[in-house]
Amino acid sequence: LRCNKDVIAVWDDSRMLFQPIFKRLGSPARLAIVIALCVVALGSLRFINLGEKIVWHDESYSFLRTFGHTGTEYVTALFDGKIHSVAELQSYQRADPELGLGATLTALASRPEHSPLYYLLARVWAEGFEDPVVALRSLSALFGVLLLPSVYWLARELFDDPPVSWSAMTLAAASPLYLLYAQEARQYALWMMLTVLSSAALLHALRTGSRRAMLLYALTIALGLYAHIMHVFTAIAHMVYLAMMHGEYERVRVKACAIARVKACAIALACGLLAFTPWLALFLYSITDVVEVTSWMRTSVSTLELMQSWLTSINQLLFDFPGSDYLIPLSAALAIIALCVIQRSTPTKVWLLLVLMLFITAGAVILPDLLSGGRRSLITRYLLPPLLLLGICIAYLIGTGSSLHTHRGRAMGLLGALLIGGGIYSQLMILSSTTWWNKAFSG
């Protein structure tokens, strides 16, 4: 009976999404099915043509580390002035039964700036595949699909508004940027998923206060750090958020249980950070080598080039096809308007988390470039967390506006259809190509 009530509730919630379209579809159940089928269809695109695109520079290192080899070993064996066969080259990109998880971990320890979780999972996952390229990319595609319900959960925890949650999940499914990183043999789809999950888990823990919720939050923080070391900036944003909410609760004298939940979340966050200390110690021990191999990031570029790149990244969240640069003003305007609407129309506990996460994760990449020179923020993959948050803000703008029976509501519904249509067209263009801009050599 409870299950039936939940299904009916989902149908009733979903009927509010894009009201003009709903009237044509005729029933809440039918609309829920249409939206679900749309998300499933778009999610399945992540598994198409995984073996057709070229393997680029960074992916080749993914194969090396996953299968227990180091870059030094590869160069020593093959860059010796002799002619080597294709089979010899590919032997470093395939699983070797004699090199298990221990060899993978050893290879990763030689380059500790790359957190190990994705590569260890990939080593196990690849056992069931003949083609290592399809193996690693399909694992990323799986995380890309799991990102979609994670976005829905975060939106529900933030706004408690089903139309916004449906909008957020649908826009995420249609985003060409998320498709690109869901089809790459790298850790970024996993990192995106855990960025969203850890934030949703934080809000869930603050809302329920249960021990299970606190454990889940600590786990997602730890897994996020083991997925990508830059997840530390998400953790810092959460830390600042908890400190500010604690101060706000003390100021307005809310119930003691709410303050206790904030303190419990802070302890869970500390536990998640503590679980990462073994890899952090290895990272700090090798910091000289890390600084050397990442020296390309400190090559200065003009401020104008940086700003153009930031705007392009925002646009690529929504549109990514030849000629889509003309839509940069629209994408930038949408992002600014969405942030303003979020700040003005949601409670402090909602907009504060979004703003802190957006500006701390973006600032960690952008400010060093502006203050000391560098090109870190030219690399879109390092801006994925703030771009994720911008996508959720835009979904809020669309989802809340489209439920109104006004000219604005119809305009928001039309805009939502434009974003989804533009995203789908971009994805089809990406899928039909053997390469894309994200495969350009960084440095």
Q: What's the pLDDT at 379?
A: 94
Choose one of 75, 96, 111: the last residue of a domain.
111
Same domain, 71 and 104: yes
User: What's the pLDDT score for residue 280?
Assistant: 96
Supply the DSSP string of 231-285, one letter for each residue. GHHHHHHHHHHHHHHHHHHHHHT--HHHHHHHHHHHHHHHHHHHHTHHHHHHHHH
Tell me, yes or no, whether 173 lies in a domain.
yes
Which pLDDT tens digit goes with each residue over 163-178? 899 999 999 999 999 9
Q: Are residues 102 and 178 in the same domain?
A: no
Q: How far apart (Å, rounded) are the C-alpha atoms in residues 234 and 379?
A: 18
Tens-place pLDDT, residues 308-342: 999 999 999 999 999 999 999 999 999 999 999 99
Together in a domain, 107 and 120: no
pTM for the complete prediction? 0.90
Model confidence at 425: pLDDT above 70: yes
Q: Are residues 230 and 85 in the same domain?
A: no
Residues 323 and 359 in one domain: yes
pLDDT in tens, 264-289: 999 999 999 999 999 999 999 999 98
> Is 176 within a domain?
yes
Confidence band, pLDDT 50/70/90 cuts, at residue 2 = very low
Cα separation, 72 vs 56, whole angstroms: 18
Domain that holds residue 329: 112-287+301-433
442, part of any domain: no
100 and 136 in a single domain? The answer is no
Q: Are residues 245 and 209 in the same domain?
A: yes
Same domain, 255 and 106: no
Summarize pLDDT for 184-214 with one digit per residue, the tens: 999 999 999 999 999 999 999 999 999 999 9
Does residue 373 belong to any structural domain of this protein? yes
Q: Are 140 and 183 in contact (CB under 8 A)?
A: yes
**pLDDT, tens only, 229-242:** 999 999 999 999 99
* pLDDT in the model for residue 22: 44
Q: Are 91 and 161 found together in one domain?
A: no
Domain end call among 96, 111, 126: 111
Number of structural domains (the chain) is: 2
Q: What's the mean per-residue pLDDT of the chain? A: 89
Confidence tier at 76 by pLDDT (50, 70, 90): confident
Span 92-119, pLDDT tens digits: 888 888 888 999 999 999 989 999 999 9
91, 111, 131 - which closes a domain: 111
Same domain for 86 and 232, yes or no, is no
Quick check: is 41 in a domain? no
- Assigned domain for 156 exists: yes
Q: Answer whether residue 15 shows pLDDT above 70.
A: no
CA dihedral defined by 380, 438, 145, 232, rounded to 10 degrees?
Answer: -30
Q: How many helices (H) and strands (E) does the chain have?
A: 22, 0
Based on the fold, state whether residues 247 and 120 are members of the same structural domain.
yes
User: Encoding tokens for residue 248?
Assistant: 């706000």
Residue 28 forms part of a structural domain: no
4 falls within a domain? no
My answer on whether 63 and 120 are in the same domain is no
